[in-house]
Amino acid sequence: MTKKLITALATPFADGKIDEASFARLVEFQAANGADALLALGTTAESQLLSKAESTRLLTLCGILAGKIPLIAGIHESATGKAAEEAKRLADLGASALLAAPPAFCKCTAAGYKRHIETICQAVDIPVIPYNVPSRAGYCLDAQTIVELSDKIAAVKDACDSAEFAKQIAASVPVLCGSDERLTSYLEAGACGVISVTSNVAPLWTKSILKGERSREFELFARLTMTEVNPIAIKYFLYKAGIFRTYDVRLPLTSANADTQKTIDEFLRKFGDKIL
């Protein structure tokens, strides 16, 4: 079975605003290099730092630029009612599927989480993909709950420190790797694809890993994209690749520091032919 590459798009900024020309270059680059789907308004997009008007414009623009490429939109609302409302809004704006981040800070019970996802699924007629990301949510989803939701959800994006959670649920629900640096181990655990940060600048290289290539250089590259809080490093990569005009981020994030820039520059001197 062909493994799917879904790029978690970064959002370019210039002078404090979304840089639409840079965003167009990014989406066109993805379309030209085989991305199977695009994720807008995910973590890599700094979506929680966008205004509602900006998120609307970004998703609308992405839909226009992406053409026939499926467009997934991220939901980050912790309150179930607000999450359902956001799901409807994003579906109306043209999203073909939704990635639902786990309720954060407030956390939730396993039973509450199940009802949270069920409510989102009931609100829309498009596929819903729960996102397991303990490093941001502060907790790991309950594997049994995911199994119980398997008839309602399309897949699960898993971004853990290992592929153990993926192994527990892979027989019941499709798993999308959410950790590029662990992509090979996730594929061995049965993942059907990846929602990728690295593919912002290296979609073909990322696809080669999906096809079974093993590469220590790719693992190093993937770790470099997480040198600082995502998407700080990948935006510097995008800037160096000439896709983004700046590597600006929004507070409380800060742009790539001197050490990060130096490390990435050295990597590009050695392996830039795989990326640029």
Annotated catalytic residue: which of 4, 113, 114, 131?
A: 131
d(CA 208, CA 220): 15
Annotated catalytic residue: which of 3, 4, 114, 157?
A: 157
Report the SS3 class of residue 217.
helix
Angle at alpha carbon of residue 2, lines to 27 and 127, rounded to 5°: 65
Catalytic-residue membership of 239: no
Structure token digits, residue 52: 């509602």
Please classify residue 171 by burial: count the beta carbons closer than 10 Å to its beta carbon, then call 0-12 exposed, 13-18 middle and 19+ buried: exposed
Which element (helix H / strand E) includes 54? helix 52-66
CA 192 to chain centre: 15
> Which residues have CB under 8 Å from 213's CB, separation 6+?
none
Q: Where are the beta strands (DSSP E) in the chain?
A: 4-8, 13-14, 17-18, 37-40, 71-75, 97-100, 128-132, 156-158, 175-177, 193-196
Structure token digits, residue 177: 């790797």
Residues 238, 243, 248, 249: is their CA dihedral positive or negative? negative
Backbone phi, psi, residue 97, to 5°: -160, 165
Catalytic-residue membership of 131: yes
Any idea which residues carry the catalytic annotation? Answer: 131, 157
